[in-house]
Structure 1
Amino acid sequence: MARIAFICPPFAAHVASFRALGEELIRRGHEPFFLLNAGAQAATGDIPVHHVPARAHDPDAAEVLARAENPKGVLATLRTIADSAAMTDQLCAGGVEVLREAGADAIVGDQMEPAGFLLAGAHRLPFCGLAAAVPIDPAPGVPLPFLDWPYQPEEVAKLRRTAAIGDALSRRQNKVIADWAARFGLAPAARLSDCLGTTQIAQMIPALDFPRPEPLPFVPVGPLRRPEELVDVPLPFIRPADRPLVFATMGTMLGGEMKVWRALAEACRQAGAALVIAHGGRLSEQQVAGFGVHHAADFLPYRAVMKAADLVITHGGSNTVLDALASGTPLLVRPVGFDQPGNLARIRHHGLGEKLASLRKPGEIAAQIRRVIGDAQVKANVARVAAALAGTGGAVAGAEVVETLL
């Protein structure tokens, strides 16, 4: 039995992946717990949470999450990086003592939160990195995850320049990493990619990723899901027998964008498709009634709905993309930030869907809906990835990798 600290950004999708891994570790007799920023609230189930103490100059966790709901543009990107740097600094400053008191035996850290790697080094604890989103591990020809660029093995100079731009944008975060690596007496670290560790697991699998040299730097375990999330459940609505079914979700952050739902509702009407939406509790019943969709809810049993759907329209978050493909359903993607452009690039690379057309042109979206649903090659490509995902071990495989550290 081991006490295993989970350190990740307090975003719902990241916490959900860690929770699935944690519940599998509990079944194996271990005691995982979350180490989160001061004031961060997360749906961790039965897995306990320890918070680091807040300092006078620290950002409020709720405000950081609220600002992250609008990740558009360079200024928003810089703001998000600055917030991330401050959150990392807070975890490193308070995490040493909290981990000591909690009696941690190992740490599993999110790739996007370098504090896990740094604190593991400070305590000389075994460390496992987890890529809940698109892996940031560098590889020849693979663009940075926040870009929707194609795989470009011949564009070495261009990708180097882009990496340099990424370093410039991440200057504040890089300084926090370097400062704490020095304070903890660790080997010099200058950027996020220096904090990945030698043992890593990833939700991304080769069948969906860009080509990478073997051996892979991470173990591709596929989607980290709780058992109850994988069980078939009845649909909370009647599936129309005479029309294709389109399921749209923009994640927990972007479900309140009225212009998105208006455009998709109109496009589905023009395409002769029934639209089901999950808006994450961001719309009122009155607002939903105005769209005239087939069904709408705060949350839905995603996998059950995706299996019934002919098409998924999404912002391109990693969990949604993986669940859609595991369900054998193609995608239209409207990325707005984070690793969503990187997911879109991989969807295009493997012929699994398209980028959503402009919201100002519902007619073009309607044409996309008809085209992607009717494309036999897209269906075959999606079926290939679905079969590959079905062969991964998910949380069970992830827990086995973590146990090798112990």
Structure 2
Amino acid sequence: MSRFLIVVPPLTGHLTPLRPVAARLAARGHHVVWAGAGRWLRDRLGPVAEIHDCVPASFTVGAREPGLRGLAALRFLVEDFLRPLATAMLPGLRAAIVRHRPDVVVTDQQAWAGAYAAAEAGLPWATSASTSAELCDPYPPNVHDWLRGCFTHQRWVADPRLSPHLILAFSVPALAGPAATTSPSVRWVGPVPQDDPGAWTSPWPTGKPLVLVTLGTQSTETGARFLRECAGALAARPGLNAVIADPGRVVGPCPEHVHVTPWVPQQAVLKRAGLVICHAGHNTVTESLWHGQPLVVAPIRDDQTVVAAQVVSAGAGVRLRFAHATAAHIGAAVDTIRADPGYAHAAARIRSACRAAGGADEAVTHLEALARSTTLIPEVTR
């Protein structure tokens, strides 16, 4: 039995792929401890999970302006969230390592403190690449140099986003494309659907093609206009059924074939969908393609632009401009995908690659191998 400390930021999408991995580790007899924002983790993992709270109650993040895009959004993410979060978490993670004595630290690529604390303690650490965007090195040289400069305050690690020991990439090269890193530490394990997909009962007795519309968990404030335009586009297509996830309750009345709900069991709906309209969030995209569903993607910010480009390059979807897409644009994109079987064929090809990648079981196999390893690639010079 090995001991694993799993470090995550308080971001739902970054927790998602690690939950089935942790469940598989526990099922194989390993000891798993989660580290992060204690109350936030407890709300999502339930009363049984072992949790080490390492985010002080005093830690706060200023509100991000809804319209922030591009480099301004990246600067906010790094300077106003990721770096302060790493500083806040590091003392608690040092204590967690002393208390729980992990053999391996598994840290999300945006929980930099996990890499710092593990390397400082001389422990092997694995990166959970909850998005493949940064494996493609998407930044121009000046941004790349600025970003690397953000890591220099910790001398233990050259880049806390990319472990030299093991990177679990929850995607596949068939989607990420040839630009993805060829680092020897990357293991493409594919998406990891939740073990319990939930139940969903269709509100319609007929079997018309189904479209799912979702903007994930972080876009409620910015998504109102786009969701309403989606509703308009789908209302004009009575030959389709549509489910719109509307947590902010911003979509008004719709015809019977357009079902608007604050929340959907996404995995259960994806099993029946034929097309997905989304913000190009990595989890939504990979889960959709795991089910073989082509996509209309309208990226908002952060890694979503890179993921949307991957979808288009792979031939599995159509990209729209989030801030400018109208019901006419959205409807035309839906019609294009439905009229051209090439999109469905590309999605099916990626589905096959995803299912062959191994998912949570493959991730656990690599983590177990790392725990057994006695020879590690050295970190930066001490």
Normalising by structure 2, report the TM-score: 0.86
**Alignment-derived partner of residue 190 in structure 2:** 222
* Separation in structure 1 between the aligned mates of residue 129 and residue 68 of structure 2, nearest angstrom: 20
The alpha carbon displacement at 1:270 in A equals: 2.8
**Alignment-derived partner of residue 337 in structure 1:** 301
* Separation in structure 1 between the aligned mates of residue 309 and residue 292 of structure 2, nearest angstrom: 19
* Residues 373-382 or 42-51, more deviating: 42-51
The alpha carbon displacement at 1:127 in A equals: 1.4
Closer/same/farther in 2, CA of residues 164 and 360 from structure 1, 3 Å limit: closer
The alpha carbon displacement at 1:44 in A equals: 2.3
* Separation in structure 2 between the aligned mates of residue 249 and residue 81 of structure 1, nearest angstrom: 26
* Residues 330-339 or 215-224, more deviating: 215-224
Normalising by structure 1, report the TM-score: 0.81
* Separation in structure 1 between the aligned mates of residue 321 and residue 120 of structure 2, nearest angstrom: 48
Within the candidate set 267, 275, 289, 2:242 is matched to 275
* Separation in structure 2 between the aligned mates of residue 218 and residue 296 of structure 1, nearest angstrom: 40
The alpha carbon displacement at 1:332 in A equals: 0.6
Q: Does 2:339 correspond to 1:374?
A: yes
* Separation in structure 2 between the aligned mates of residue 74 and residue 28 of structure 1, nearest angstrom: 43
**Alignment-derived partner of residue 148 in structure 1:** none
How many residues of Structure 1 are paired with residues of Structure 2 in the alignment?
363
The alpha carbon displacement at 1:401 in A equals: 0.8
**Any runs of at least 4 consecutive aligned residues in structure 1 with deviations exceeding 6 A, and if so which?**
none
**Alignment-derived partner of residue 47 in structure 1:** 49
Within the candidate set 182, 194, 198, 2:165 is matched to 198
Q: Does 2:316 correspond to 1:349?
A: no
Within the candidate set 77, 81, 106, 1:80 is matched to 77
The alpha carbon displacement at 1:220 in A equals: 1.0
Structure 1 unaligned spans of 5+? 145-158
- The one-letter amino acid paired with 1:43 is R
Structure 2 unaligned spans of 5+? 372-382
The alpha carbon displacement at 1:27 in A equals: 0.3
**Would you say the 8 A contact 1:226–1:395 is kept in 2?**
no
Q: Calculate the aligned-residue CA RMSD, in Å.
A: 2.6
**Alignment-derived partner of residue 401 in structure 1:** 366
**Would you say the 8 A contact 1:261–1:291 is kept in 2?**
no
Closer/same/farther in 2, CA of residues 254 and 247 from structure 1, 3 Å limit: same
**Alignment-derived partner of residue 123 in structure 2:** 125
**Alignment-derived partner of residue 145 in structure 2:** 167
Deviations, residues 128-172 of structure 1 (Å, cap 9, x unaligned)? 1111111523xxxx451xxxxxxxxxxxxxx7xx1322332x37x
* Residues 212-221 or 124-133, more deviating: 212-221
* Separation in structure 1 between the aligned mates of residue 361 and residue 355 of structure 2, nearest angstrom: 13
**Would you say the 8 A contact 2:164–2:185 is kept in 1?**
no
**Alignment-derived partner of residue 389 in structure 1:** 354
**Would you say the 8 A contact 2:70–2:302 is kept in 1?**
no
**Alignment-derived partner of residue 380 in structure 2:** none
**Alignment-derived partner of residue 375 in structure 2:** none
- The one-letter amino acid paired with 2:189 is V
**Alignment-derived partner of residue 19 in structure 1:** 19
SS, match of residue 338 in structure 1: coil
The alpha carbon displacement at 1:67 in A equals: 3.4
Deviations, residues 270-294 of structure 1 (Å, cap 9, x unaligned)? 3443321123x322xxx54524462
* Separation in structure 2 between the aligned mates of residue 7 and residue 47 of structure 1, nearest angstrom: 13
Closer/same/farther in 2, CA of residues 402 and 116 from structure 1, 3 Å limit: same
**Would you say the 8 A contact 1:68–1:80 is kept in 2?**
no
SS, match of residue 348 in structure 2: helix
* Separation in structure 2 between the aligned mates of residue 395 and residue 28 of structure 1, nearest angstrom: 12
Within the candidate set 178, 188, 210, 2:177 is matched to 210
* Separation in structure 1 between the aligned mates of residue 300 and residue 363 of structure 2, nearest angstrom: 29
**Would you say the 8 A contact 1:135–1:202 is kept in 2?**
no
**Would you say the 8 A contact 1:208–1:350 is kept in 2?**
yes
Closer/same/farther in 2, CA of residues 226 and 379 from structure 1, 3 Å limit: closer
The alpha carbon displacement at 1:357 in A equals: 5.0
* Separation in structure 2 between the aligned mates of residue 239 and residue 90 of structure 1, nearest angstrom: 52
**Alignment-derived partner of residue 305 in structure 1:** 269
